[in-house]
Amino acid sequence: MVKTLGWLAGAGLLVGLIMAFGVAPREVTQGNVQRIMYVHVPLILASYVAFGVLAIASVVYLARRHPAADRVAHASGEVGVLFVGLGIATGSIWGKPTWGTWWTWDARLTSVAILFVMYLGYLLLRGTIDDPERAARYCAVLGIVAALDIPLVHFSVYWWRTLHQPPSLMKPGGFTGSTSILWPLLINLLAFVLLYAYFVARRVRLLRSEAEVTA
């Protein structure tokens, strides 16, 4: 099951990569640099999936106190931070030739950066608590606080300043771009979500073995 997931994710990434370079058209003004979008957007969206799963798993843990829920939250936190970190890095690499700067304090960049440090703190908290049961409880509370904080962060940062180009996929009125852009993006999105699921499945298995060894 887990292995199949891995192969599916791998195949998806390969197809996505081929489509990003073969099917997707060359952007007129930005040139080939724009193709990084096919990795950048799926990474960020997959990290949202990860943090969503983390929040749900946290609630489930507090309600049921099942260690499996905590392991899912733990693994999702790690993969989510990795993805959002890579998303920021790829965005930066794209931003330098396009905007002329590695970083700017625009609304969505700032929101994502706050998300990154918030969940980095979540992983730090996990790392400093030795008792697994207590780590699970505290992290579940932090996971819920962080999840409910996201809309507040979003609005405050949005009102603070906004400059980023509007979202291209999920916006009012639906996607209006050409399908030769849409399909490579969707395939890559699917591939990265599968990759997330695969990583989490492997990590959960590892965490379970760790718990068995120390028990």
Partner 1 sequence: MSYARRALAIAWKDLAVERRSKETLNALVFFSLLLLFVFQFTLGSDRERLAAVLPGVLWLGFVLSALLALGRTFLVEREHDCWEGLLLAPGDKSAIYLGKLVGNLALMLLVEALVLGLFVVFFDIDLGRALPGLLVVVLLGTLGLAAVGTLFAAMTANIRARELLFPVLLLPVQVPVLLATVKATEGLLQGEPLGAVAHWVKLLVAADTIYVVLSLLTFDVVLEG
* Chain centroid offset of residue 11 CA: 20
The answer to whether 102 and 96 have CB atoms below 8 angstroms apart is yes
Q: Does 155 bind partner 1 (CB under 8 A)?
A: yes
Shortest distance, position 130 Cβ to partner 1, whole Å: 8
x-or-dash pattern for partner 1, window 61-80, by CB under 8 A? -x------------------
Backbone angles phi, psi at 175, to 5 degrees: -75, 130
Q: Does 54 bind partner 1 (CB under 8 A)?
A: no
Shortest distance, position 131 Cβ to partner 1, whole Å: 9
Site for partner 1 in 1-20 (CB under 8 A): none
Of the candidates 121, 180, 206, 210, which one interacts with partner 1 according to CB under 8 A?
121
Of the candidates 144, 186, 193, 201, which one interacts with partner 1 according to CB under 8 A?
144
Tokens representing 9 are 């994710």
How far apart CA 82 and CA 192 sit, in angstroms, is 12
The residue count for binding partner 1 (CB under 8 A) is: 28
How far apart CA 82 and CA 84 sit, in angstroms, is 6
Q: Which of 152/215 has CB closer to partner 1?
A: 152
Distances (CA, A) of 134 to 61, 62, 77, 137, 192: 12, 12, 17, 5, 32
Q: Which of 49/142 has CB closer to partner 1?
A: 142
How far from each other are the two terminal CA atoms of the chain, in whole angstroms? 27
Q: Does 109 bind partner 1 (CB under 8 A)?
A: no
Q: Concatenate the DSSP letters of all residues of 145-158 into one string.
A: HHHHHHHHHHHHHH
Residues in touch with partner 1 (CB under 8 A) = 62, 114, 117-118, 121, 124-125, 128-130, 134, 137-138, 140-142, 144-146, 148-149, 152-153, 155-157, 159-160
